[in-house]
């Protein structure tokens, strides 16, 4: 192959790659913004769980008091709080919510604030998922009027 032909082929390939970059970003999956505090290892575990399920994560570390204020402004009730908060598709995701339930939420699009797994149950994503000592827990749907209902049960 002539040098000119090789250069033309490389140029065409480079253009094709640049044109496809927006598609590659989309292929990474939906992005979830995660608000947490410095040094929280279970939040990192939850982020890795989401990444493993095709979600892109963008983690922001905030001072604890700032994180609590943001949760309240977003409509999350104190009794549903956990160590981190996710934001995706106009919803608030509080605590160790499995990626499967986030996907379902985004598919069904209920008129709600979001999902919550209160506290930090052992066996939930980021908290020793798959552990033989796993605790049962519920994923709650938080309605805009402040009420909750069970969205999913994990036993």
Comparing 8-22, 56-70, 106-120, 126-140, the range with the smallest average pLDDT is 8-22
Comparing 19-23, 61-65, 117-121, 151-155, the range with the smallest average pLDDT is 19-23
pTM over 0.85: no
Q: Which long-range CB contacts under 8 A does 98-103 form with residues at least 24 apart?
A: 98/49, 98/124, 98/125, 98/139, 98/152, 98/154, 99/49, 99/50, 99/52, 99/53, 99/54, 99/55, 99/125, 100/53, 100/152, 101/139, 101/151, 101/152, 102/32, 102/50, 102/55, 103/53
Instruction: State which of 17-21, 38-42, 134-138 shows the largest mean pLDDT.
Output: 134-138
Domain 30-154 is in which class? alpha beta
Enumerate the domain spans of the chain.
Answer: 30-154
């Amino acid at each position: 192959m002539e040098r000119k032909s090789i250069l033309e082929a490389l140029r065409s390939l480079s253009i094709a790659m640049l044109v496809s970059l927006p598609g590659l970003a989309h292929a990474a999956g939906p992005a979830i913004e995660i608000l947490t505090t410095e040094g929280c290892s279970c939040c990192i575990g939850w982020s890795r769980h989401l990444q493993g399920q095709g979600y892109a994560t963008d983690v922001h570390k905030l001072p604890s008091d700032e994180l609590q204020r943001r949760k309240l402004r977003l409509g999350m009730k104190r009794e549903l709080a956990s160590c981190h908060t996710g934001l995706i598709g106009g919803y608030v995701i509080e605590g160790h919510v499995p990626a499967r339930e986030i996907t379902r939420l985004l598919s069904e699009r209920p008129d709600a604030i979001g999902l919550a797994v209160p506290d930090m149950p052992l066996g939930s994503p980021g908290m020793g998922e798959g552990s033989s000592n796993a605790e049962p827990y519920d994923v709650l749907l938080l309605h805009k009027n402040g009420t909750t209902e069970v969205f999913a049960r994990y036993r």
